[in-house]
Chains A and B, each alone.
Chain A
Amino acid sequence: MPGAQLIMNFPVTATSHLLADYRARGGYETLRRVLTSMTPTEVTKEVTASGLLGHGGAAFPVGRKWAVVKLDDGQPHYLCANADEGEPGTFKDRWVLEHAPHLLIESMLIASYALQVRNAFVYIRGEFDLPYRRLEAAIEEAYAAGLLGERVVGTDFACDLVIYRGAGSYVCGEASGLITSIEGRKPYPRNRPPRLTVRGLYQRPTVINNVETLANVAGIIANGAEAFRKVGTAKSPGTQLVSISGHLVRPGVYEVEYGYPLAKFIYEDCGGVPGGLAVKCIVPGGISTKVLTGPELAPLTYDHASFAGAGSSLGSGGMIVIGDGTCMVRLLQVALRFYHHESCGQCTPCREGMGWMHRIIDRIVAGDGRPEDIDRLVAISRANDGTTICGMGDAAGYATIGIIDKFRDEFEYWIEHKRSKCDGVLEVGHA
């Protein structure tokens, strides 16, 4: 167990996701207390004091985002849980939806109270089936038990929760793309200003938080900000649900306390690479983060500052372990094919850049690469850094620059010898 467990703190059984089990664990008591003895501002203050950061990839302070919404401004506010989870390597929000849907619902109710939200949404990627059915069933249980609807827990607070299903698009995981999708339109992300907390869904103040971020709220209010701060590190309080996969003995979703030693997590908790192979590198938090080599990861702890110091980031919490012998050129090819497929096409650098990068790497893999192609990939990545409407351009840039920085020799080799330095292998460590 990689440190304190705040969310995955109960045994998963055939019924642990149901309302009765959740109540037996103390579920919805916090909601009752909030609605009967706290003001919305007090809730936001507590969340701010906890130092809770976003778990979707941007690590933005949650309380600061919530505080932008002006209470009593006479207009509707909306809350959306981002369950689009499209970042390759990431599957941890799914755990919450499948096993702790009521934790999400209770947290969303508390957040809705704090933000004066009458209508809340969970935007769930279209491909998720079981997570959707579990959440839908939980919402029905909640309505039947008077936990959602006109009079929540018998108080004056009213809140409705609707699941909005996506239909296959990575950019719906971007907050403004997500709400444009909820508006029933093609999910083009939006330029800021205005911030979504000022003009979001149907031009109303909207807060979009990652599922796991919201799932932390009930516990923070239940036990207090101070108790939350005792877990993790000063700059990264609390825990992170980490979905870890790849060349790994025990892939899965783990709750990692911030500050936990990274090497211990990968090699002991998750068993390291099958066959005892060395870790060549890891993708820290979804492929849109810069890779860290085996030696680089050794001294790190799992928290924002440690990874930033190593020139990378925790990202979406989707860690991919890459074993020795993997061809990094082919790996980048898979990633660039993905970004090219997912570019919405709205703005120039990403629309043209993703296709260009994909064509270049396809050409390198086909044996028709030129030495200048490597610098060109880096240049296109830089041309997408901070120039695009949403972060996807930057994301592709980090993936590309990260891999080329650490493994340029493999690209040079392929260009010179017209074949992979690692025999084009992507599968290592198991039969």
Chain B
Amino acid sequence: MPEIFINGRAIMAEDGQTVLEAARAHGIFIPYFCWHPSLSIAGNCRICVVEVEDPKGGGWMEIACNMPVAPGMRVNTDSEPVRARRKQTMELITLNHPVDCGVCDKAGECMLQDHHYAYNGAPSASRDPKVAATKFYPLSERITLDNERCIMCSRCVRFTREVSHSNGLGIESRGDHSLIRPSGDGAFGRDAYSDNVVDLCPVGALLSKSFQYKSRVWYLKPTPSVCPGCERGCTVQIWHRRAEWKLHRLDAKANASIDRVTPLENAAVNGPWICNKGRDLAQTFGRARAERPMLKGRPATAAEAIENARRLVAAARKPVALVSSWGSNEELAAFKAALGGRVTALVKTDCRPEPGEVVADALLIRADKNPNTAGARALFGIAPAVVPADADLVLVWGEGADFGAIPAGAKIVFLNAWLAPENGHADVFLPLSIQTERAGHYTNFAGTIGAFEACFARPAHALDAAAVFAALAGQTEVVA
């Protein structure tokens, strides 16, 4: 455990740490662009330069990200020479950087903006034209690249080499006409983690096509959530319009939609990454909703439908439930409390891998495409979701049930959020809320519990599943 001195302060560093890591661990900020805790050291941006004192007098400047700590080392991160060097480095990094801030998605969360104002702030010292390069080069169908904005930090390249292993990106040519380019075999387009480079990029060079020009980031608020795409349960941030910055539009949906999804760093589950499926949660949660309760396809009021369902459940001699693996731990507990005594509950696999979707890999993606199989099985066991032949009532909660396998004479009470043809075939149909309209928890495949918060208000038509279960058990009145 070497003791080093940063700005005169004694720090107990750890063996094998770099000066940058030791400083970070003790709350001392040294700026960087190319360094990232989950990637190899590139040492190319040169902004993390610090001053190292020579015991014999004087000193030298060296990048902190690649400098191993040595006992007794004395480092200055904020001396006059360091500041002068940082200003110079910022001058060079921004030399050919186009001042696109007014039209660049990254504004407001851009490391270059932040470091420019902190360490330079002056206009360009050059009176020569900036080097022009390709704007909006399509790296894939999802990601666009503005080569002029790129500062060649190589984070994106290292990501595809070291984390996603697609080797989908590289740097072609040389000098100040170097260009990030995708490999010619389309590997980047097939990289299921490609969108992480947008988060990694310290400037507005790598952009998500689906988010491009959608909104200024300061109009949005990130709500912590859990991706339901598979049983990994990566924690995410769902970005949506802040109330005080709501859009004045006729369509209320504009203020209740997901603008983008980014990872919520989680050392226990997904680290700093998510897969592309998690990025597309706007599509996942934006599917057409079931909005009306129905009795055999005929629209009914919620009160009418719930009362109908309650009577069916009460009258059934062998009621069976196919429980949703998208139910939250809270909803599942409510089901158990209300109906668990009377109804035989089997855990259903709501979603299966789609054609073309990565089934499982060595990084994050798991084959079970449901967020809470583990939570459901913990309460209801692992018996397969096969409805016994003598069931006379089947309560189907969530999608994915094989209605053809339900015994012919059985009554069906169907609770589902999504619009589907089966909704009209059930004896009673009740429309439910979705994850973004409530708070709750999922348990992932390894038993780690992830929390999600509500992003949007529950729409009037969407019923709260826990309340419905209580009502079906005759415990409460109807809720809307």
Contact = CB atoms under 8 A, between A and B. Distances in A.
Contact of B66 (A193, A343, A351, A352): A193
A354 B95 CA distance: 12
A355 B174 contact: no
Contacts of A383: 88-89, 91-92
A390 to B, nearest CB: 11
Interface in A329-381: 340-349, 351-356, 359-360, 363, 370, 376
A376 B124 CA distance: 12
Interface string B140-163: 000000000001100000000000
A186 interface: yes
B44 A356 contact: no
B179 to A, nearest CB: 9
A348 B151 contact: yes
Given A186-B171, A359-B128, A387-B46, A352 B63 contact: no
Given A345-B152, A346-B152, A383-B92, A354 B176 contact: yes
A386 interface: yes
Contacts of A191: 41, 43, 63, 66
B171 A376 contact: no
Contacts of A193: 66-68
Given A345-B175, A360-B128, A352 B96 contact: yes
A4 interface: no
A68 interface: no
B178 interface: yes
B92 A348 contact: yes
A355 B66 contact: no
Contact of A348 (B67, B93, B125, B129): B93
Given A191-B66, A343-B174, A356-B126, A349 B46 contact: yes
B176 A343 contact: yes
Interface string A381-398: 001001111000000000
B92 A341 contact: no
Nearest to B85: A387
A387 B126 contact: no
B175 A343 contact: yes
Contacts of A387: 46, 49, 61, 85, 89
A295 to B, nearest CB: 32
B140 to A, nearest CB: 22
Given A191-B66, A193-B68, A387-B46, A348 B89 contact: yes
B131 A355 contact: yes
A386 B61 contact: yes
A7 B47 CA distance: 46
Nearest to B68: A193
A352 B128 CA distance: 12
Nearest to A346: B44
Contact of A340 (B61, B89, B95, B175): B175
Interface string B165-187: 00000010111111000000000
Contacts of B152: 345-346, 348, 351
Interface string B39-64: 00101111101000000000011010
B175 A353 contact: no
Interface in A60-80: none
B127 interface: yes
Contacts, number: 86
B131 A349 contact: no
A344 B43 contact: no
Contacts of A370: 127
Contact of B46 (A341, A345, A347, A354): A347
A386 B60 contact: yes
B171 A345 contact: yes
Contacts of A343: 174-176
Nearest to B128: A359
Among A340, A352, A370, residue most surrounded by chain B Cβ atoms (within 10 Å): A352
B88 A356 contact: no
A399 B129 CA distance: 24
Interface in B79-113: 85, 88-89, 91-93, 95-96
Contacts of B49: 387
Interface in A173-197: 186, 191, 193
A180 to B, nearest CB: 13
A355 B175 contact: yes
A354 B89 contact: no
Nearest to B62: A386
A59 to B, nearest CB: 19
Given A355-B131, A356-B128, A345 B43 contact: no
Given A349-B46, A356-B95, A356-B128, A341 B175 contact: yes
Interface in B372-402: none
Contact of A344 (B92, B95, B174): B174
B31 to A, nearest CB: 13
A352 B92 contact: yes
B61 A345 contact: no
A351 B46 contact: no
Contact of A354 (B41, B93, B126, B175): B175
A348 B44 contact: yes
B449 to A, nearest CB: 41
Interface in B343-398: none
Nearest to B90: A348
A127 to B, nearest CB: 17
22 contacts: A186-B171, A193-B67, A341-B175, A343-B174, A343-B176, A345-B173, A345-B175, A345-B176, A347-B45, A348-B92, A351-B176, A352-B93, A352-B96, A354-B175, A356-B126, A360-B128, A363-B128, A376-B125, A383-B92, A386-B61, A387-B85, A389-B44
Given A347-B45, A363-B128, 4 more contacts: A191-B66, A340-B175, A342-B175, A355-B96
